[in-house]
Amino acid sequence: MEKQYVTPDKIPIVLLILVLCILSIGILGYENRRLEQQVFELTNELEATKLSLGNNISELRGIIASTSADRDRLLTELNSERAMVQALSGQVQNISGDVGKLVKLSKTDPELLKKYSKVYFLNENYVPPKLISVNTKYTYAQSEQFFEGNAWPFLQTLLDTATSSGIDLKIASGYRSFDSQVGLKSSYKVTFGAGTANSFSADQGYSEHQLGTAADFTTSLLGANFGTLDKTEAYKWLTNNAYKYGFILSYPKNNSYYIYEPWHWRFVGKALAQKLYDEHKNFYDLDQREIDTHLIYFFDP
């Protein structure tokens, strides 16, 4: 095989190529070192960033933990405040209820539930604060009668219901003043004698009629002779129904005050009348303190 030789005319090209290779190697080495420096710097920056982020994360975790603790504390305080508000609201409602009861009681005459009939005394100046004239269609012989105004709707309903049930029932006597009772008692003493009169007629100041909440009932047939009212259907109806309208028989058989008076009924409010009916008790059997607890319900429908 024939040997190849570099001829003199080819030497500059070889040198040029060689120089170019050397330059390229130098340039590549420089670029490599520059890139290595950039990588080094970027690595340092990355580490610094990681360190900074780590510190920030730790700080944020601390802030989050602190915020969570504050949130929990505030929630606890909020729940405590809510509980306190609810408790105060309950107290306010109770106070409002108590105030309402006191206002209601202040508007109800305490005399209306007192025991009279030889127990309590009404002076000559006492007059029910609200008296109304009763429509004569409800009275015997169309006589003029009066009744306590707030209690009248209960009595009117009783009489209307009795009529719709086919019961003949009339008012023979309603409100009587102190002076009227004086005159009535005097006439009874003349007619029957003092001893007999005292057995069925109260002295002035002790009559339930002065309250304006007691009524003597009769029928059209009995008229003024209502002593035998208990022999009528009207009396039977009253014993079974009067309590529904707040009325009780003041002087039943074997009472300690007066003779048996089937005609004399007194308004004591529905609540107390219901209690007496359910327990088969007489108004005058109860202690006055127990009776007084029903005053607040006196005019409740």
Taking 90 as the threshold, does the pLDDT of residue 77 lie above it?
no
Domain boundaries along the sequence of the chain: 8-106, 110-297
Q: What is the pLDDT of residue 89?
A: 60
Q: Which residues of 75-96 are buried (b: 16+ CB within 10 A; e: fewer)?
A: eeeeeeeeeeeeeeeeeeeeee
Residue 105 binned pLDDT confidence (cut-offs 50, 70, 90): confident
- Supply angle C-alpha 279, 281, 285, rounded to 5: 135
Mean pLDDT of the chain: 85
User: Does residue 217 register a pLDDT over 90?
Assistant: yes
Per-residue confidence (pLDDT) for residue 299, from 0 to 100? 96
Confidence of residue 200 (pLDDT cuts 50, 70, 90): low
Domain 110-297: state its class. Answer: alpha beta
- Model confidence over 237-250: pLDDT tens digits? 999 999 999 999 99
pLDDT at 38 over 90: no
Which pLDDT score is estimated for 131? 97
Q: In the predicted model, what is the mean pLDDT of residues 129-136?
A: 96
* Cα separation values, 85 from 70, 88, 90, 93, 241, Å: 22, 5, 8, 12, 48
Query: Is residue 142's pLDDT more than 80?
Result: yes
Q: Which residues have C-beta within 8 Å of that of residue 135, sequence separation ≥ 6?
A: none
Residue 84, pLDDT above cutoff 70: no
Does residue 35 have a pLDDT over 90? Answer: no
